[in-house]
Structure 1
Amino acid sequence: MLTVGEEDRYPPTKYKRNINKKTNQSKLKICTYNVKSLVSFEKYIELTNALKNINFDIIGLSEVRRVGCSIEEYQDYILCYTGQTKGLYGVGFLVKKELKNNITKFTGISERVALLQLEFRNFPISLIQAYAPTEKANEDEIQKFYEDLNQAHSLIDGRVLVTGDFNAKIGQQQKTDNNQIIGRFGFGKRNERGERLIEYATEHKLAVMNTFFKKKNHRKWTWISPDRKTVNEIDFILSNSPKTVTNVEVISNVKFFSDHRLVRATITVKPPKKV
């Protein structure tokens, strides 16, 4: 029996067949999406039906709300998830089936942080999926969340993308910002949780990639309030290799019951050329 957060989650042997026969893709579509709930198989089917016309390879999932730590193989996808509290929290990944031999390890750090490690042409890529506490959470919860993120970083080497619902507003670039961390195309106004996210990004030399691509305002926000009057950008994709990220965009046509929109990054698989 697996205990969440205490040991690595390795894919079963069947995921390691032909491990050297890597995909020939030169680019990957990596996404993040707060699904609000995948607690039942019916919700999983609803989600996959909603994604039929969406171009993606891997989606980091927030609010999966499933208990346990598992890798499940379905007809078209592999679902990895970890969670502890019934009906709350939980994170994971939905991976296209053709990439199953690229998966090298899945680790459930906590019910808010999960790590998926893959390899392409002997080049490793790590994905960290996060679901941060809301604004109502106390400082201890926030501190624990960032400790979990730091633990995930301690397990990786090389290129990493950190994706998820951070419940934080980065806002527009400020004069004091490091322009290698925050770009010129933020959205809205920064809040205290946004400052904390920037501190984390700076510590790990991560660029907040949403802020580096110019989009119209209606293509920037990722969350809408229940009364449909307030929108914010709180779902982000961060990278320690920004030159390999060629686009970040918000996808608005996923017909699934969520108050969030899917965020998609296009990344190049090949390692950047040495200067």
Structure 2
Amino acid sequence: MTGKGRELADMMERRKVDILCVQVTRWKGSKARSIGAGFKLFYYGVDSKRNGVGVVLKEEFVRNVLEVKRVSDRVMSLKLEIEGVMLNVVSGYAPQVGCELEEKERFWSELDEVMESIPTGVRVVIGADFNGHVGEGSTGDGEVMGKFGIKERNLEGQMVVDFAKRMDMAVVNTYFQKREEHRVTYKSRGVFYTDNEFKQVPLIQVVLPDDWETTAEVISETGRKVLGVSSGRRKEDKETWWWNEEVQDSIQRKRLAKEKWDMDRTEENRQEYKELQRRVKREVSKAK
């Protein structure tokens, strides 16, 4: 995420995305911060070199956040109430194929724990990079996935399917036919890495305790005594002030070069993309 916040916010604004799950943020800490353009990132990480998960919200929804649960640097969730509907958004990052089985089992145990803590009937969406192939077709698993997966199912993909069955959810991105480059996270030496999104949308009922007003008053008063009250003035955002036309133009060129390289992986296209990556870094440093 370092140096990428404003670029990410620009993409969300352009694509009209209100809520986005992100993985491999590599930010250490347990915080929430503005990334510009009216978006805020809630994140958690324990190592600045690996893992890290987060959820980005359009700022108009930030006040609707009721709970943030940071389980580990691979799993976190947000509970929101939007127009009277409770919604749980879970961001996850599964261990890669080469990781130890113990680490993979720990991830799925943490994800199970989060799901089991959500009351039956509440809406849940999981946006995650599961690092597995659920495979093409849906023979025998049509209740949890569509036929537009990719490649053959591997062990990690089977874990995804088993989880979907356990939680009565669906692997949503397998229901839509897309170009191959839009069905993978990235490609490396002919190996495809895929991500998946789960969704579960039953009807819900919300019941608040009778003494909610008293509870809210106690929480507010305690917050004032312990933390004090801010002036209300916002500091200039570190992630936005340098976002000038030159930086935006360089990032647009880099994005087009990346698309060109994805379509035709020649050495010439790779070098062009790498050079534009370096140019973006120079433009950002110059602007700052």
1:187 to 117, 134, 150: 150
1:135 to 92, 97, 113: 97
2:60 to 85, 94, 98: 98
**Paired residue total:** 208
Structure 1 residue 224, shift from structure 2 partner: 1.8
Q: How does 1:103-142 map to 2 (within 5 A)?
A: 103-142=65-104
Indicate the SS of the match to 2:168: coil
Counterpart residue identity of residue 198, structure 2: L
Structure 1 residue 114, shift from structure 2 partner: 0.5
Please identify runs of 4+ aligned residues in structure 1 that moved more than 6 A. Answer: 256-259
Counterpart residue identity of residue 91, structure 2: Q
In the alignment, structure 2 segments of 5+ residues that lack a partner are 204-252, 263-288
Note the alpha carbon deviations across 1:224-263, whole angstroms, 9 max, x for none: 22x5x4434x2111112289xxxxxxxxx9939999x9xx
Q: Distance in 2 between matches of 1:166 and 1:237?
A: 9
Structure 1 residue 54, shift from structure 2 partner: 1.9
Note the alpha carbon deviations across 1:57-98, whole angstroms, 9 max, x for none: 011010011111112235411110011123210000111112
Q: Distance in 2 between matches of 1:111 and 1:73?
A: 20
Q: Sequence identity of aligned pairs in percent?
A: 25
In the alignment, structure 1 segments of 5+ residues that lack a partner are 1-37, 244-252, 262-275
RCO higher in structure (CA 8 A, sep ≥6): 1
Q: In the alignment, which residue of structure 1 is the partner of 2:215?
A: none
Counterpart residue identity of residue 124, structure 2: V
- Whichever structure has more helix as a proportion of its residues is 2
Q: In the alignment, which residue of structure 1 is the partner of 2:110?
A: 148
1:236 to 183, 196, 219: 196
Note the alpha carbon deviations across 1:120-177, whole angstroms, 9 max, x for none: 2221010111001011111100110011101211322311011111001011124332
The alignment's TM-score, normalised by the length of structure 1, stands at 0.68
Distance 1:165 1:134, change over 3 A: same
Deviates more, 1:115-124 or 1:136-145: 115-124
- Whichever structure has more strand as a proportion of its residues is 1
Q: In the alignment, which residue of structure 2 is the partner of 1:176?
A: 140
Note the alpha carbon deviations across 1:24-60, whole angstroms, 9 max, x for none: xxxxxxxxxxxxxx1x3x2322333444422200110
